[in-house]
Amino acid sequence: MDADVEVARLAARAAADALLPLRSSGRTGRPLGDAGDAAGQRAIAAVLAAERPGDVVFSEEATDDARRLSADRVWIVDPLDGTREYSAPGRADWAVHVALWVRGELAAAAVALPALGEVHGTDPAPALPARPDGPVRIAVSRTRPPAEAEAVATTLGGRLVPLGSAGYKTLAVVRGEADAYVHSGGMYQWDSAAPVAVARAAGLVTCRLDGSPLVYNGPDPALPDLVVVRPELADEVLAAVRAAR
């Protein structure tokens, strides 16, 4: 197995181990979310500093380090994706994202789903389960479902599955709980880098809403839209998205 994937898994697990007990610390709401963001960041930064001291880290929870724009190796990290859901008792739809970008490509990644006790990585590649019969299930933000996803559901006779966290939704497609994930209207590179790397390893199609490639470690942290879809549905879903735009 690739050594960088092992480091990604180690870092994602360390954050999960810090985040889970915090949830029963008595904090709730925003203070819990803030504490989770900070604890996840500390755990991941410690693992990366110990294991890969020469690499640059680009994280939602750290100041943007300009060295990433000339570096060969950059870790793109979201220590707690779905902060809102993490702060809501009983919800499982939140995630930890750790991706490694090497000279233009996502090279390794892990996504932890701590509430499920799962960590998914790019190697070994996840096995995509068969799609059950029934309407196409499209994962969408539970707080900001995009119009494009509603249009795709109407065109395909599918249904929306509202969930928190870009990582959890992407992994819902990898794990066979959903068939596609459609997002627009805003997001950042760390929200999708690790989940997209894992999705690609599983054989899923990933791209921008206009069909163009998702580009990581660009100067602008924003990467506002994406589609993750099972390969057998990619043409249909992307055509429906195009028609909706």
Ligand X SMILES: Nc1ncnc2c1ncn2[C@@H]1O[C@H](COP(=O)(O)O)[C@@H](OP(=O)(O)O)[C@H]1O
Residues that constitute the known binding site: 60, 78, 80-81, 191
Pairing mode, strands 159-163 and 137-141: parallel
For residue 134, the tally of other CB atoms under 10 A from its CB is 9
Number of residues near ligand X (by CB under 6 A) = 15
Instruction: Compute CA distances 225 → 1, 16, 105, whole Å.
Output: 31, 26, 18
Return the axis-axis angle of helices 3-22 and 29-51, rounded to nearest 10°.
150
* Least distance (Å) between residue 160 CB and ligand X: 12
Specify the residue, 122 or 141, whose C-beta has the smaller distance to ligand X.
141
For residue 72, the tally of other CB atoms under 10 A from its CB is 11
Which of 41, 87, 165, 189 binds ligand X (CB under 6 A)? It is: 165
* Least distance (Å) between residue 153 CB and Mg ion: 24
Let me know how long the chain is.
245
Name the residue among 123, 121, 93, 97 with its Cα closest to residue 44: 97
**For 16-24, which contacts have Cβ atoms below 8 Å and span 24 or more sequence positions?**
16/96, 16/112, 16/114, 16/119, 17/43, 18/42, 18/43, 19/80, 19/86, 19/96, 19/114, 20/114, 20/115, 23/86, 23/89
Which of 16, 44, 99, 166 binds ligand X (CB under 6 A)? It is: 166
Task: Point out the annotated binding site for Mg(2+).
Answer: 60, 78, 80-81, 191
Site pattern 63..82 for Mg ion (x: CB under 5 A)? ---------------x--x-
* Least distance (Å) between residue 54 CB and ligand X: 27
Q: Given the rule CB under 6 A, which of 13-21, 41-49, 139-147, 206-214 is the region that contacts ligand X?
A: 139-147
Contact in structure between 48 and 57 (CB atoms under 8 Å): yes
Which of 74, 191, 193, 209 binds Mg ion (CB under 5 A)? It is: 191
Q: Name the binder of 206 from ligand X, Mg ion, none, CB < 5-8 A by kind.
A: none
Does the protein bind ligand X through residue 83 (CB under 6 A)? yes
Does the protein bind ligand X through residue 78 (CB under 6 A)? yes
Contact in structure between 139 and 172 (CB atoms under 8 Å): yes
Does the protein bind ligand X through residue 40 (CB under 6 A)? no
Site pattern 178..217 for ligand X (x: CB under 6 A)? -------xxx---x--------------------------
Which of 4, 5, 8, 82 binds ligand X (CB under 6 A)? It is: 82
Q: Residue 112 gets which letter from DSSP?
A: E
For residue 131, the tally of other CB atoms under 10 A from its CB is 13
Contact residues toward Mg ion (CB under 5 A) are 78, 81, 191
Contact residues toward ligand X (CB under 6 A) are 60, 78, 81-83, 141, 143-144, 164-166, 185-187, 191
